[in-house]
Structure 1
Amino acid sequence: MAEDTEWNAALRAQGILPAEPEVTEDQINEMLDQVISEKYGEKALEDRNLDELDELEDEEDDRVLEAYRRQRIAEMNAAARLEKYGTVTQISKPDYTVEVTEASKDTWVVLHLFQNHIQACKLINGILERIAARYRSTKFLKIVADQCIPNYPDRNVPTLLIYGEGDLKRNLVGIEQLGGMGTTVDHVEKLLKSIGAIHDTVLTTRRGDGDDDEESDQRRSGFRVNRASKEDEDDDDWD
């Protein structure tokens, strides 16, 4: 269409096509009146009294509020579809590909490698249960360590494997990388947020909204990974 207009303009410049008729001010006003009439009725705006104008304004406000209401409902429904987990589910090795690798293509997956007889694993399991209940769009799983990786040493548990986009994004090996035996829900929560594995959604309600964590109010879509410090990366060993 743009090329056709330019071609016609060139032909008119050469006198081959007649010049386009100019649009007069009266024609412009007539077109404006038509638009106003279609939107607000036959009576032009300048002919309406204050009460009629207020009524139009109220109608417009109602339309805006209704549009906003529909948008919020759509957002909440979308969030509800995402927030479908909420617990830490135990899996076995045959489940790994589907429950972890494949599932992480659509959502973040946090997998805890644990041993029942190790106190630090009990601590982390309890912490992850509380975090999973808050961040229901992230899938939290656990698996007995040596059932997942044969001969996996007890000194390496608890281990968190964090998946996103179908790949392993981070591995946190041992209780020290998770804050030691004195670690808390808030500490592990902030750690998972810094990696990008959990994020607030429109339906998430949490205590401590005054938290000064930069990402506590940030909404994310898709995946994003913030790398840890060089010291943490150097400590990411499995044996």
Structure 2
Amino acid sequence: MDLPPMQVQVDPNEDTEWNDILRKHGIIPEKPPSPTPIIEEALREAIQRAHENRLEGKDLDELDALEDEEDEDFLNQYRQKRMAELSALATASKFGQIFPLQKADWSRDVTEASKEAYVVVNMISSNTESRVAADLCRQMAAKFGDIKFTEISARLAVENYPEQNCPSILVYRNGDIQKQFITLKELNGVQTTVEDLQKALVDIGAVKDNDHRILPKRTSDEEFHRNGRLRGSKVNNAYNDDV
């Protein structure tokens, strides 16, 4: 009498001689590679990138304050890079104010101008949000001179334009609208701040996310070094915990 085959429960992930035999004969699949080396390598690369980019976003005064802590050649490279960035911004910063816009000049002052730089059109009325938007755009224009900020009464731009749609902020680049905000609702309403508008421009690509003009200033070199050590400690601890 033939006995039925025995049903043996096998954990295919176990490292046993029996499992090796089963894998050799294709009875169970090969054990997948351990993710640990991949995780370790990703963590090492992340730590290395953080170390290499540790000077990103620092202004010239902050770089000077690190002379005793950083390699001189490496620090000079970043100092020259930052000076080049500042020079490029100074060259591009040819606006720096709000430009009143006329409907007849829209093609020239907005569509064509946007082929050279980002153009922000603020269509306003007399309501509260329009006054908030106008003030924010004035601050932004002074801060980001490489972006052209314009302003026009909505009723002069579009006949019978609904006041409840004001302000309407249009962001142009390369002749096309890249983003539009109908009122400040999408930002933060009447509580919208310069920081909210900056973030919107970063999301659009009009401002780089590492632009020194939007990075918060440290209150002191001591706070900067303390926070830097804290961040480094957290990264190293995370790495040690995982490996």
Residue 155 of structure 1 pairs with residue 189 of structure 2? no
Question: What letter corresponds to residue 181 of structure 2 in structure 1?
Answer: L
2:133 aligned residue (115, 118, 124):
124
Please identify, of 99-108 and 167-176, the stretch whose mean Cα deviation from structure 2 is larger: 167-176
Partner of 2:109: 99
Q: How many pairs were matched up?
A: 148
Where do 1:1-239 residues align within 5 Å?
75-115=85-125, 117-199=126-208, 205=213, 208-209=216-217
Question: What letter corresponds to residue 100 of structure 2 in structure 1?
Answer: Q
SS at match of 1:177: coil
* Normalised TM-score (structure 1): 0.53
The whole-number CA distance in structure 2 between the counterparts of 1:193 and 1:68 is 23
The whole-number CA distance in structure 2 between the counterparts of 1:201 and 1:77 is 16
Partner of 1:7: none
Change (3 A) 1:208 1:145: same
Shift in Å at residue 194 of structure 1? Answer: 0.9
Question: What letter corresponds to residue 80 of structure 1 in structure 2?
Answer: A
Deviations 1:109-164 (A, max 9, x none): 1110001x211100111111112222111111111101111111001000011101
The whole-number CA distance in structure 1 between the counterparts of 2:77 and 2:188 is 46
Shift in Å at residue 200 of structure 1? Answer: 6.7
Partner of 1:26: none
The whole-number CA distance in structure 2 between the counterparts of 1:174 and 1:71 is 39
Change (3 A) 1:75 1:125: same
Change (3 A) 1:209 1:111: same
The whole-number CA distance in structure 2 between the counterparts of 1:72 and 1:194 is 23
Shift in Å at residue 196 of structure 1? Answer: 1.6
Structure 1, unmatched stretches of 5+, are 1-63, 211-239
Change (3 A) 1:71 1:155: closer
Identity %: 32
Contact 1:109 1:197 in 2 (8 A): no
Shift in Å at residue 66 of structure 1? Answer: 10
* Normalised TM-score (structure 2): 0.53
The whole-number CA distance in structure 2 between the counterparts of 1:205 and 1:170 is 22
The whole-number CA distance in structure 1 between the counterparts of 2:191 and 2:128 is 12
